Amino acid sequence: MKSDTPVERIMQREFASVRSDEHLDFVDDVMALGRVRHMPVVDGGKLVGVVSQRDLLAASLSKVLDFDGKERRTFLRSVDVREVMAARPITVAPGASLAEAAALLLRHKIGCLPVVGAGGEALGLLTETDLLRAAYDEEQPGPPR
């Protein structure tokens, strides 16, 4: 795929998201079950942040280093997403090129870009994996299935 291809051609249109008032134990479950590393935080249809596996780990480590599974889950249940999410995520417009998106990922050392409309609504998600797939998997031109 060419580097000037718009992000909307390969972005994931179906993605898991959470609200800022949900608890981290729920996020942990969804990430584990869905095998995802990043989740947009959406309130009222608008993107308000991103929470990642790294955020979950940092929240756990900030409290106690020696959690057993039950203690970790209890702790995560006590923390709202808004307390650990990246509240000002780097985003991309659907018409931005893949080259622009890749440059943002590299410059900010992040693994995903929420794709947002002009009004701040979450339209999709673009990950480093999506870019690699678009660059090297000629048989799969669209988003992953």
Range of the domain at 121: 7-136
Identify any residues that bridge with 40 across adjacent strands, giving them in sequence order: 50
CATH code at 18?
3.10.580.10
Structural domain contains residue 79: yes
Length of the chain: 145
The total domain count for the chain is: 1
Q: What is the pTM of this model?
A: 0.81
User: Does the pLDDT value for residue 47 go beyond 90?
Assistant: yes
CB atoms near residue 10 (< 10 Å): 23
Residue 144 lies in a domain: no
Kindly state whether residue 142 falls inside one of the protein's structural domains.
Answer: no
Are β-strands 38-43 and 46-52 bridged in parallel, bridged antiparallel, or unpaired? antiparallel
How far apart, in whole angstroms, are the C-alpha atoms of residue 85 and residue 72? 18
The predicted model gives 13-27 an average pLDDT of 92
Whether residue 143 is contained in a domain is answered as: no
pLDDT confidence of residue 145:
41
Residue 78 counted as domain residue: yes
Q: Looking at the domain assignment, is residue 37 inside a domain?
A: yes
Answer yes or no: are the C-beta atoms of 41 and 19 closer than 8 Å: yes
User: Is 145 among the domain residues?
Assistant: no
Q: What is the pLDDT of residues 63-84, one digit of tens each?
A: 555 566 677 677 777 788 998 8
Query: Is residue 2 one of the residues assigned to a domain?
Result: no
How does pLDDT run across 97-110, given as a tens digit for each residue?
A: 999 999 999 999 99
